[in-house]
Chains A and B, each alone.
Chain A
Amino acid sequence: MSDLNTQAVERYRNNFLKEVEENVEEGHWVKMCMQCGVCSGSCPFGPHWEHPPQEIFMMIRAGKRDEVLASDSMWMCTSCYNCIVRCPRKLPITHIMHGLANYAHRLGIAPKGQPTREFAKLFWDNMMKKGRVNEMKLTIGHYFRNGIGAGIKEAMAMKDVGLGMLKAKRLNPMELAGGHGLKDLKGFHAMVAKAKEIEDRKKGFVK
């Protein structure tokens, strides 16, 4: 268990709802869920959630901390916003799912190797380097996430797609050597670091 996670467990003891309300983006909405299940029925990846959103809300209220935070479920969100627009009580469900996933990731207890968790990190780190996404490096980074051997196999399986994109001039191998970036990269980095520092302080992510 990570230090941050131990700290959180000690601080909130058995009150997982309070923990979510105080630390998870839009978490203060959780107790407003009336268990109608429209969100679960509206999700394009619904059948793939071990615990659909409606269940996650009830589990939070029932204090099932480990089952929720270690769940693969929230990582199934495609950000389609169906659940948000259909929720009769207007809970920002998409954001709460994102918030829970992010919180579990920050505590270090989200499922290891979960593909969307890994892709999300790859995407953010890629974007942070130059302030803009480098699609070439993102693609290569994704296919080679499990090492060279697996990467070559996966990249070969996808080679028709890649070649098609190259031919259509929508993927640029030259981006491996640099690519688009910000002029004021220094300012951008300082700003994001400051934002992270403020948020970490607020959420007690300081060791």
Chain B
Amino acid sequence: MSAPGRSGRYDTVPRSGSRGVAVGRALLALGGVAMIAWGAYVAVTRVPSSQWPSALVWLAGGIVLHDAVLAPVAIVVGALVLPRVPAPWRPALRGGMLALGVLAIFAVALLAGSAHRRNASVVPQDPLAALAVALGVLVVGVLLGAWWAVAARRRSALRD
């Protein structure tokens, strides 16, 4: 545990507040470790070792993609954009950024799925048109969210 009153301490393993919590977390931790061990056993015994390198690259790739690309982009964009927009716009813009990130993942899947299409019933839609529609929905959603937040603020200002 860190010293009381210190700020900026992250990932501190906290103390259990009650006996129930202590028992619960012990059970969760034990069950969790057991499931991880079972997963590792299944992987080692059923996945041919020739497939491990590719799987491990993908396993590491996800966390690298997040920690080295997605998170820095989100932080920098957040730091640059959010202080410069009115407060009611911020949740909608945050949501928009989140949706944009997810849409980027889907864009990769849609374009790749359409490029590697093995039969006409896989990704039957025009992927670019589909992405344009989704992007339009996203923009409308952000505008509606911001409009709603601004209106809510006006209402609460009138009430006060």
A and B from one assembly? Answer: no
- Please list the residues of chain A having a beta carbon within 8 angstroms of any beta carbon in chain B: none
Please report B residues at the A interface, Cβ cutoff 8 Å.
none
